[in-house]
Chain A
């Protein structure tokens, strides 16, 4: 089959690689019909993650058609149109049983890296480095999905592929961030970052009862979409003092809930990497830490800061004082999309959510290196490039 592979930092190429096979009884093989880029791919691309190996297939946000089913799977059959949640759950461990699928204990076949870096092993993620399991990603003709009974969801009739593909990651991530923010009716919510996840977080905040959502970014096309499609009040941080603007917009109180959809763009911590390498890694990304600091500083007393953006290691100058003295709640996590997929499909069917506008650049798989180029540099008003193998 054909697949987009990582070869070296900023070097991607489309290769012919072996087709995946059913390995375990609960596996399903999909023929990928749509596979989206994601902001979190960018630090894999840039080589900031040491757990990448030449030949690794990228991509974790995707949908497809079932072509082969393992002996332990009865819910799906050949031809089903499905999406996959990008963070893999097993459905059987302590965490999956309480719907915290993204904390799955069993889905990472390579648990020692995160075990050492974070204290406990983290779940597996498609196409997301060997620290998160070394699973082949979805920018390929076919993909093997483990624990398919837990991670696959049939797309209901009346929902287009362009809408459905984002229920794999961007939509549940945004929804999870808003859910974690503990939004009360009438709240003002501030969302940092107007990429795919940010757009979904804005929409989800409204669905969960926010009265106003304020969105912060610097790219005019993204701010325009946040305003027109998601209904946000927008702030361009390149032209406006964000802290002052947020206070002015909230009668001096600060937003009730703050959602960080930017992150630090540095997630890799492989163990054998020496301390100074980690330092170097972080130094490249200190700027990104400003979003979280800004959110903590702006948030009203007793409010909630919900962190979705990818953080990987250690943060310098973390404003713990503001958290303590303003009695803030800090919540975070990778998205447990298995919890939300069917609910999101319902919102789409009722016309309350339409993620399809995120798809600005449909492309063939062969064009995918150019797709990443556009996405990375936000060229041609690219929100999301989506490959159709």
Chain B
């Protein structure tokens, strides 16, 4: 009996504890998920804009899906947390297609109090990302429509939404002011045809890769919804319950990339950032492509709490977070990788050789290094005084080789006691555990006594039917002493022994070099020319060639004539997605594979002023040994057929990796055809052509048959195992062209006595005309086109040019009809002529 009494008491105590625990939970919930009052007698119609997967964003996640997710969460918040009469919605799933008229008709028939349309924005510029809220406005500069309320709601929402998303804003604006279209009624249909107060929110851009990876997250959509929830409370002057919402982005401190699968713990709650397995597999087959690093906690009480973050491959992180009641409590986290630092690459490669004083040793580490420890932990044998220079955020060490002696084996030892900036020991053998040494051997070359030799030539020896305006290319096996080039390299018309007119460029690439001669005045038809490299051309070490080199080629009567410019890259690369933004791109290192607009290297054959610099870094260890980069052009114009050449000027790096064109067959939305692969064996500029009329294709996701009309889809690249896996290309003047006879006649190549600017011909013209000019001596030349207000509309020449007679074509396809002036500025000479463009 005694025993039974004790058991009864024990059970009573346990029941009391359980009851107490339940009450504590109940109290907590009542504090943090309490219902607010004040919305009774009011309702709202939520309109998630668009339907199904309309307005597709980058990585295959649509604006319509984001809008629906936000609306569903906002509805639930209003129903769960307030005494609102009801929440209506224009759609609750991604299957129906709801027209604009149905959306407003439903809201109007229900007599809703307020209408809020949820949207996201789009741009051809992938960096664009901002908020915008638009209320119905009665004309540009006009007042708000009646019933009032949309403007007030917009003004509240734009502040909260922008601050919550932590992006910029275009503001809360009347829709007529934003669109700039005159009229007496609101511009947007939902503002114009609703019988209640209304507004439309644009929460960021689904064309922005970072934003759209966040949009995929249900938690991010909840953040957007919560800013709207708080907006509605503030609109009604209802005090907001304690905010208690802690959010942030978890990133790798070194790469800046968001971390997938990070586990954040706060006040007994846990949240894991999205992973490929949990979310991103829906949008990409590449497990490493997509990430957002977003975590989100609600119902966090006031006070200071410890936020703990763990993630595979990273040091654990702990920080105190004090919740604020004014808004979201933001706490971004930068995790530090726990991988020990190691050497990822060297130049020269291990056991390779270099020329001392000409080439330095470069060692790339996987992590930023504590460079203060370098002098004592990086040892050169034989002992040599060398200057260490750290770059790339202390991840790259450059060892100056000026004091190295020729024909000697050098050992560079990096001790296992070297640490990265975060205290991780150096991992010399790359086994994942720090503390061991790394030995790297480099041999210095025998002092170079050998002059440079030609390794590639365009046009090839004895080539015939060469185009009249080629890029003549002479490649060498080593860098040249540039001061010896102009006196030794000539391109001569045999019959007159006169020089061809050209602009020359020298490029040193990966231990080799190339001379590109951009012919400015078309070569004579059916003539033989000689490329001469005279004795005396020196390499970088002063070794001069002792024999003349000559190679002849013969022109035909044709030239490559541009029919349609797809992109000359002069306006930048806003029309192109970053390569990793395409779901087709696999097997690359994301941060090192990118496209950039540059004006340092571009094609001088066409009057271009910019090009696309394309840097690639293939992951040599990728699973399945599949490498593909799709550099996608997002503008679906112009359209073209299969009667001509698809061309691009490609500046190669000689790494022998692969390149091809891809076109989209617009009649068949899923058909994409590619050219055969081109091996980029060359260095410097080369015109690459895919003759569409031949019908020869490579294999991708088309049917192998060219079925016009086409629009250009992408440049594609791939890796050839065993080759150098990282490099840089430049791409310029993507176009449709023909190889056709030209009316341009060769001019008498004599060095003129004066500077002359001739009248263009034809004039008037449409759309192109020829401008001839003469240069009396080598000088910087500028030839510009300006409109009647003096605004420069084109720069045709801006370069150092040798003396000679020149002719340049001006293509005015992209400017409107009118009177224009072209002006030649050279030395003290300046002259203008008028020309008339009549379209």
Query: Are A and B genuine complex partners?
Result: no
Interface residues, chain B, with chain A CB atoms under 8 Å away: none
